[in-house]
Amino acid sequence: MNPTAALDILREKRLLAPETLTLAITGTCNLQCRHCWVNAGPSGTVSAVPTRTLFRLLEEFRVLEGNGIRFTGGEPLCHPDWLELVRSARALGYRSISLQTNGMLFTEHNVAALRELDFPGLTIQISLDGATAPIHDLVRGRGAFAGALDGIRRLRDGGLGKRITLFMTEMRHNLEEIPALLKLANELEIGSVATGTLVRCGRAAQGSPVAPPTLEQYELLVHRFDSDPPFRELYERLGNVAALEWRRETSPRTECCTFLQNPYLTPDGRLYPCVLCHADRYAVSGVLQKDLASAFAEGAPLWDTLKTMSQCRAEANAACRECPGRLTCAGGCMGRALASSGDPLAVDDRCDVRQAIYRRNRSITSTRERHFPKEFTEDTE
Ligand code: SF4
Ligand code: SF4
């Protein structure tokens, strides 16, 4: 299909044009983590996507005006040609290229090859689910922490430390590790630290012992942020934790969902409108056997429906209508709601935490207004 015609179809449906494609290049992984939402492992049922197909997809997404590629898996470094794919994305003119990896398979040879790319748009996102081996290895298996740290040090020694983002999945057993993780990142001269709450799907939904943190844990984290200046200083320099960022949100959301800015293609050829919104009834399948423009055109009516639902969520939920965070949260992430409850109109699965933070913000604001009325602050500015 003509790429311009496909982009026109997306525009007609008022879907945002795709910008960054998360491309799963293999379903296999050297680990078999307890919380893996794609069920990857050493003997994954989906193996590496043929390199020829991946080269074609990279070219086609660029023609569709895509600017960014995130290579993921499974473990992308398990793909025999991952380095060639990164080189190809660079040669095609992508402005950002990201590797989402467990960090264990970096060798001196492939670190040198990444350095030679000399590409400022490269990010290496390494999963680290704790600042110590017992916490990280509890979900990732013995030796995983040591292996990840070896990879991180290799990258740092190769001059790529600032390209690394450490990514922690927030769980009940590790949320308290966030300050220590920031310290570790600082010591290792890493670029940044980001976290995201566990989604109850994939292996994390199958009676796994891992669980999302409790509301009380998040309240303690917020309290620590307010009362611990060294933690706050490190966080402001390196960190990005949703629960801490929600406190700063003030402007109303103009778009409830970013469809279709960040689509996601699985190693078995299913195309989803977003990496967090992977419900099969809203996927285009068989994409490895068709051109990407046709796949986007085929998905447009499905994602149009989903987008319309995303815009109704805050109105559909009685809790949202009463909530002080309604304008900035608007029902939260629809992908997470779908993954955890199967219902696109349900509230975000972190609703209790969000509500507590928004109510706290509102009480701080009203206390401030009581002590410093608006006229007073305006007069003194
Ligand atoms: S979470 Fe990541 S490292 Fe762990 S099994 Fe899944 S793909 Fe592999
Ligand atoms: S915090 Fe919960 S109730 Fe409030 S707007 Fe978000 S999803 Fe709705």
Pocket test for ligand 2, best of 323, 353, 358, 361 (most atoms within 8 A of CB): 323
Q: What is the pLDDT of residue 135?
A: 97
168 CA from centroid of ligand 1 (Å): 12
Ligand nearest to the CA of 78: 1
Specify the ligand 2 atom closest to the Cα of 322: 3
Q: In Å, how far are 34, 46, 128 from 200, measured between CA atoms?
A: 11, 21, 19
Q: Is residue 279 one of the residues assigned to a domain? A: no
Pocket of ligand 2 (CB under 6 A): 314, 317, 319-320, 323, 325-326, 329, 331-332, 347-348, 351, 354-355
Q: In Å, how far are 67, 70, 85, 146 from 50, measured between CA atoms?
A: 22, 17, 11, 31
Domain range holding 195? Answer: 3-246
Task: Write the residue with the smallest CA distance to atom 4 of ligand 1.
Answer: 33
Ligand nearest to the CA of 32: 1
Q: Is residue 293 one of the residues assigned to a domain? A: no
Cis peptide before 74 (omega within 30 of 0): yes
Q: Is the model's pTM score more than 0.85?
A: yes
Please report the DSSP string for 338-354 in residue order. HHHHS-TTSPPTTHHHH
Residue 21: which CATH number?
Answer: 3.20.20.70
Specify the ligand 2 atom closest to the Cα of 326: 5
Q: Is residue 363 one of the residues assigned to a domain? A: no
- Taking only the tens of pLDDT, the chain with its 381 residues reads 999 999 999 999 999 999 999 999 999 999 999 999 888 999 867 889 999 999 999 999 999 999 999 999 999 999 999 999 999 999 999 999 999 999 999 999 999 999 999 999 999 999 999 999 999 999 999 999 999 999 999 999 999 999 999 999 999 999 999 999 999 999 999 999 999 999 888 888 876 779 999 999 999 999 999 999 999 999 999 999 999 998 887 777 766 688 899 999 999 999 999 998 888 899 999 999 999 999 999 999 999 999 998 888 888 888 898 898 888 888 999 988 988 888 888 998 899 999 998 888 777 655 555 554 444 433 333
Q: Is residue 297 one of the residues assigned to a domain? A: no
Give 272's contacts (C-beta < 8 A, 6+ positions apart): 263, 264, 265, 266, 278, 279, 282, 283
In 85-179, where do the E strands start and end? 96-101, 122-127, 164-170
Q: What is the pLDDT of residue 267?
A: 96
For the record, the structure tokens of 113 come out as 């090859």
Task: Write the residue with the smallest CA distance to atom 8 of ligand 2.
Answer: 320
Q: Is residue 251 one of the residues assigned to a domain? A: no
Pocket of ligand 1 (CB under 6 A): 29, 31-33, 36, 38, 40-41, 73-75, 102
201 CA from centroid of ligand 1 (Å): 13
Pocket test for ligand 1, best of 26, 30, 32, 33 (most atoms within 8 A of CB): 33
Specify the ligand 2 atom closest to the Cα of 324: 4
Beta strands 264-265 and 271-272, pairing class = antiparallel
Specify the ligand 2 atom closest to the Cα of 354: 1
Give 63's contacts (C-beta < 8 A, 6+ positions apart): 3, 293
Number of structural domains in the chain? 1
Q: Is residue 346 one of the residues assigned to a domain? A: no
Q: Is residue 377 one of the residues assigned to a domain? A: no
Q: Is residue 340 one of the residues assigned to a domain? A: no
Specify the ligand 1 atom closest to the Cα of 203: 6
